[in-house]
Chains A and B, each alone.
Chain A
Amino acid sequence: MIRNVFKLLVQRWDFFAKLLVEHLEISFLAIAIAIVFGSIVGILISEYQKSAKWTLGVINFVYTIPSISMLGFLIPFSGVGNATAVIALTIYALLPMVRSVHTGLTNVDPAIVEAAKGMGSTRSQILFKVKIPLAMPVIMSGIRNMVTMTIALAGIASFIGAGGLGVAIYRGITTNNAAMTIAGSLLTAALALIADFLLGIVEKRMQKHSKKAKHQNKIAGITALVLIVSLIAGLAAVHGTNRKTINIATKPMTEQYILGEMMDILIEQDTDLKVNLTQGVGGGTSNIEPAMESGEFDLYPEYTGTAWNMVLKNTDVYTEDQFGEMQSAYEDMGMTWTCMYGFENTYGLVVRKDIADQYNIRTYSDLAQYAPELTFGAEYDFFEREDGYDSLCETYGLNFGNTMDLDIGLKYQALAEKQIDVMVVFTTDGQLADADAVVLTDDKDFFPSYLCGNVIRSEVLEEYPQLQDVFDKLAGQIQNEDMVKMNYEAEVEGKEPRDVAAEFLQEKGLTQ
């Protein structure tokens, strides 16, 4: 495993280096803002003690909000992406900052403060010449803690579509790639440790008193400042040159990573547009959809059934007959369904191949007759859902001999070991590719239809009609077997989503 991690790090260093830089940018920006604002607030509440109690109370309260909820709260205001990540990180970084400044300043020996006052210092002279220098050790240790914490916490930024090493961690988790997760975590930890180590050196140097040390400190400080300023300025410049860019989001699912890469490859190949791909936005539809409305994202792969229930908030079961109705509802929101890939990712029932062949079972209805002799397996929640097990059995008159609760990761193993005979799957599960199983036909349309297509903002499509050519090219090209195979390659064989996407496009002759 450790070898795999290192191999991955070496092979995909460009990818990790980009994430590392993004991670640094997001963290440093949050740290810098927190230092400035935290110091100001800390100083103010130390100078005006009456406000200290409630200010610290409020900050403490905010600090106890779990980071995931914090990001959720912020998305309606600042959307998804780096801005929200920086805001959330800054909010968390404020508490240790304010507190250490406050503690440092209020713990300065009152006799020294009185001496300074008695000699005719003004309030600000006392603050800047005496209190702050004396509080510096406490403030510095607060900064050290805060920096380590912020760098570690920045890992969650990818959850809302920001960059950073969290992208690797999150991608590793969703595509079943442990080496990727570990590599991302290791780099995050290393970054935090290095930052802590460097600050430790700064802290030590600041305690050195000799004239020479002070001179060196000045030079080092100015150098660091110039570096940071130019880094930020450089970033602003890079981000400023946003030429015609299509912002694509994907949900945290292996197949969406692959679809995202396909779009990226094809659009950049066939048009003069640039693609900014935000993979695996946490929360999926519930976070991407609002960002589409606000214009942060232009395009994302979606499933018809999900859109029908979650976005349009219909409660009935979606069938493809209703596509026209859905399309017009979307057009009212300024979005269009386009580029239906051809595959669907819905619930499905599979039967082990030997049984299917023995009894000639091909549809759900065929099952009814043999159900009492068979064992049914599904994840826990399928038995709990209203549209789950009971409802399914009622619709098809099924009466299984036995049922088994199974973890999603163990289902296929249980089927192979003949512990279960029938089970619920997602129709694009990568593991279906090498499972000895037959996918049955839902002849009474029990499960909603979840055809996969793209949702695009209508004005983007109007502005860049050349996109339509790309969509036409890819529409209907991916069947369920194709998606299963690609998911299998990514999840089981450990291939990169981009490589899987590129190979598929190559096979189909869609790339030059």
Chain B
Amino acid sequence: MSEKIIEFRHVKKTYGSNTVIEDLNFSVEKGDFVTVIGSSGCGKTTTLKMINALIQPTDGDIFVEGTNIRDRDPVQLRRSIGYAIQGSVLFPHMTVEQNIAYVPNLLNKKDKKRTGEAVDKWMKIVGLDPSMKERYPSELSGGQQQRVGIARALAASPEILLMDEPFGAVDEITRSSLQDEIRRIHAETNITVLFVTHDIQEALKLATKVLIMDHGEIQQYDTPDRVLQHPANEFVEKLVRRERHTCLLAEDRIGGCEFSRAASGMKPAAGKTE
């Protein structure tokens, strides 16, 4: 029913004698929002960068939209995949409009009208006022810069969006609204998202599936609810312990929060065993 848009088969990555990833196998289905979480150095960014060929695997194969990426021109591959990375890595010498139009311009330099329309469309979607087109990144707030970064990653309407801790450098309130934004965009466009983060709360909030990594190995790959309800091992249990005890009931029902989310989810499961 659902098609595998990304698939890792026995992927290994070593730097000299240092093995970052031993044997990675997983697949992402079209329309998924996968958050990749783990501690620093666990190989999550490496995993992400192997998808758009910024890093070449030492061994194994990666398939994107059914094609082994070894058989694809890396430049063409990257142009078909949206890419947003941490911090303000907008091009400082380009306006908001030029930043967003960057990939469309690489693809179809001549078609200015289409590019212009794409810029307008994506600025609207990420919630940027059209008056900001002529501004330079240095004239924007941190949140606005992130929105431009997302719009830039999406401007060529890719099927896949890779995000590497995109909201790492913004304040809590801005981050929360950006998270809502990206979730809405995902819902509206049905794009497949791979989102690297080290914030478990963010990982659980955004994902349709969470990929938990440690030491280059997958610890658990499941829906947020299943991760919370059935941590696969001690590592995952430790990672989600606080979240299991956090109440996420709506404002008007907050008084009735007698149990944690994890506990309420476990009730039917407990009932079944009776």
Contact = CB atoms under 8 A, between A and B. Distances in A.
B103 A111 contact: no
B54 A114 contact: yes
B33 interface: no
A125 interface: yes
B54 A118 contact: yes
Interface in A104-133: 109, 111-112, 114-122, 125, 129-130, 133
A125 B77 CA distance: 16
B102 interface: yes
A134 interface: yes
B3 interface: no
B91 A112 contact: yes
B89 interface: yes
Nearest to A123: B75
A129 B52 CA distance: 20
Given A111-B87, A114-B85, A134-B93, A120 B54 contact: no
Contacts of B95: 209
A121 B106 contact: yes
A204 interface: no
Most chain B CB within a 10 A radius of its CB, from A111, A118, A125, A209: A118
B92 A134 contact: yes
Interface in A152-172: none
B136 A209 contact: yes
B168 to A, nearest CB: 12
Contacts of A118: 49, 52, 54, 78, 83, 85, 162
Contacts of A129: 91, 102
A211 interface: yes
A304 B136 CA distance: 74
Interface string A204-236: 000001110000000000000000000000000
A104 to B, nearest CB: 13
B54 A117 contact: yes
Given A114-B54, A209-B136, A119 B93 contact: no
Interface string B70-93: 000001111111010101010111
Contacts of A122: 75
Interface residues of A, number: 21
B54 A119 contact: no
Interface string B45-79: 00001001010000000000000000000011111
A116 B102 CA distance: 9
Contact of B89 (A112, A120, A136): A112
B89 A125 contact: no
Contacts of B180: none
B134 interface: yes
A114 B49 CA distance: 10
A119 B81 CA distance: 7
Contacts of B75: 120-122
Contacts of A211: 134
Contacts of A111: 85, 87, 89
Interface in A312-337: none
A115 B106 contact: no
A211 B54 CA distance: 35
A509 to B, nearest CB: 73
Given A134-B93, A209-B95, A211-B134, A120 B85 contact: no
Contacts of B49: 118
B93 A115 contact: no
B184 to A, nearest CB: 23
A122 to B, nearest CB: 5
A120 B78 contact: yes
Contacts of B78: 117-120
Contacts of A120: 75-81, 103, 106
17 contacts: A111-B89, A112-B92, A114-B54, A114-B89, A116-B91, A117-B54, A118-B52, A118-B78, A118-B83, A119-B79, A119-B83, A119-B102, A119-B153, A120-B76, A120-B106, A122-B75, A134-B92
Given A121-B75, A211-B134, 4 more contacts: A114-B89, A115-B83, A118-B162, A120-B79
Interface of B: 49, 52, 54, 75-81, 83, 85, 87, 89, 91-93, 95, 102-103, 106, 134, 136, 152-153, 162
Interface of A: 109, 111-112, 114-122, 125, 129-130, 133-134, 136, 209-211
